[in-house]
Amino acid sequence: MVQRSINSLFFLVLLATASFGQRQKVWLDADTGNEMDDLYAIARVLKDDGIQLIGLSSAHFNNPDLLVFDKWNAYDTKGLVTVEDSQRLNEALLALAGKADLPHPIGADRQVGRAWGGREARDSPAAQAIIRAVQALTTEETLDILTLGALTNVASALILDPSILPRIRVYSLGARYFIEQKAWSKNEFNIRNDLNAFDYLMDLEALDFTLMPVEEALPLKFDRDETYANLNDAVPLEKMLADRWREQNPQDKTRVMWDLALVQAYLRPDLAEVISVNAPPENKKFSVKIFVRIDAEAMEKEFYEVLKR
């Protein structure tokens, strides 16, 4: 009986070890310098024990306003290289989280192709790192890539090495989809920042692609004062999250946590629904999956529970 118990315990240990080793590998790509919600989304992923985060890359947030206005959010636009600011924040956040050894390559500094179109890859350390990460997978593994901004880095990786296509799944925040009208609009910030990359991905019929249209993220709003109260300035990571609101958007009593909504829908599939809809008619994909009907209250509650672990 004792030997049987020992054998059973040994089996359970092996099973737990195997399960741990089979955690889904995830790559996160973020335009962290653009708005405050990226930091909250990244912090949530860093705290998750159910997945294996293998990389965090920075994305640009180039847009026409940078050319004609003196300020973008809290930044002076003169001399601003957007991807470098995303990279700076990624590195600062990883250091505070004790994850500085996580691969965190810098992404492309501009869109795929040119202003009038095109599909020339925008090579970068991030695109190359994504390719290497996929090539290092075992035959049973896939890589889930979550993008919080322009799709330049993942699109460039696919253009540079199309062989990685069947080994990845892409989850992105972007575009607009009107369920009642069954209609798409690409008139949205992330998509406008690299429309060429989005159209390239939408033309890859075999790509496993799930989007969170921005309308579906709208219910996830954080209250400023409640957020300050929930974040402990004595904890460096939490202080960085609070300071990001204080420095960038102190006048806003509430903020939509766009990127956190995508991350929560991915990490907690019970808090959102996934449906298949027709892809935009001008693209080659027949259908695409989208997140809808998120449980915003549960997402906010769970964010703080995980953050405080």
The domain spanning residue 233 has which CATH number? 3.90.245.10
| CB 80 within 8 Å of CB 126 | no
Residue 200: other Cβ atoms inside 10 A = 23
Return the closest-CA partner of residue 54 out of 80, 73, 72, 27: 27
Domain of residue 68, residue span: 25-307
pLDDT of residue 21: 57
pLDDT in tens, the chain (309 residues): 444 343 334 334 433 444 445 899 999 999 999 999 999 999 999 999 999 999 999 999 999 999 999 998 888 999 999 999 999 999 999 999 999 999 999 999 999 999 999 999 999 999 999 999 999 999 999 999 999 999 999 999 999 999 999 999 999 999 999 999 999 999 999 999 999 999 999 999 999 999 999 999 999 999 999 999 999 999 999 999 999 999 999 999 999 999 999 999 999 999 999 999 999 999 999 999 999 999 999 999 999 999 998
- Is residue 187 a part of any domain in this protein? yes
- Is residue 259 a part of any domain in this protein? yes
- Is residue 264 a part of any domain in this protein? yes
Task: Return the bridge partners of 254, or none.
Answer: 223
Please write the tens of the pLDDT for every residue from 202-242. 999 999 999 999 999 999 999 999 999 999 999 999 999 99
- The single-letter DSSP state of residue 305 is H
Task: Give the pairing type, strands 254-256 and 221-223.
Answer: antiparallel
Q: In the numeric block, which tokens belong to residue 127?
A: 């695109």
- Is residue 72 a part of any domain in this protein? yes
- Is residue 6 a part of any domain in this protein? no
- Is residue 12 a part of any domain in this protein? no
> Which residue type is seen at 134?
V
- Is residue 2 a part of any domain in this protein? no
- Is residue 30 a part of any domain in this protein? yes
Which region, left, alpha or beta, applies to residue 84 given φ > 0 means left and ψ of -120 to 50 means alpha?
A: alpha
Task: Return the bridge partners of 76, or none.
Answer: 71
Task: Return the bridge partners of 172, or none.
Answer: 147, 211
The tally of domains found in the chain comes to: 1
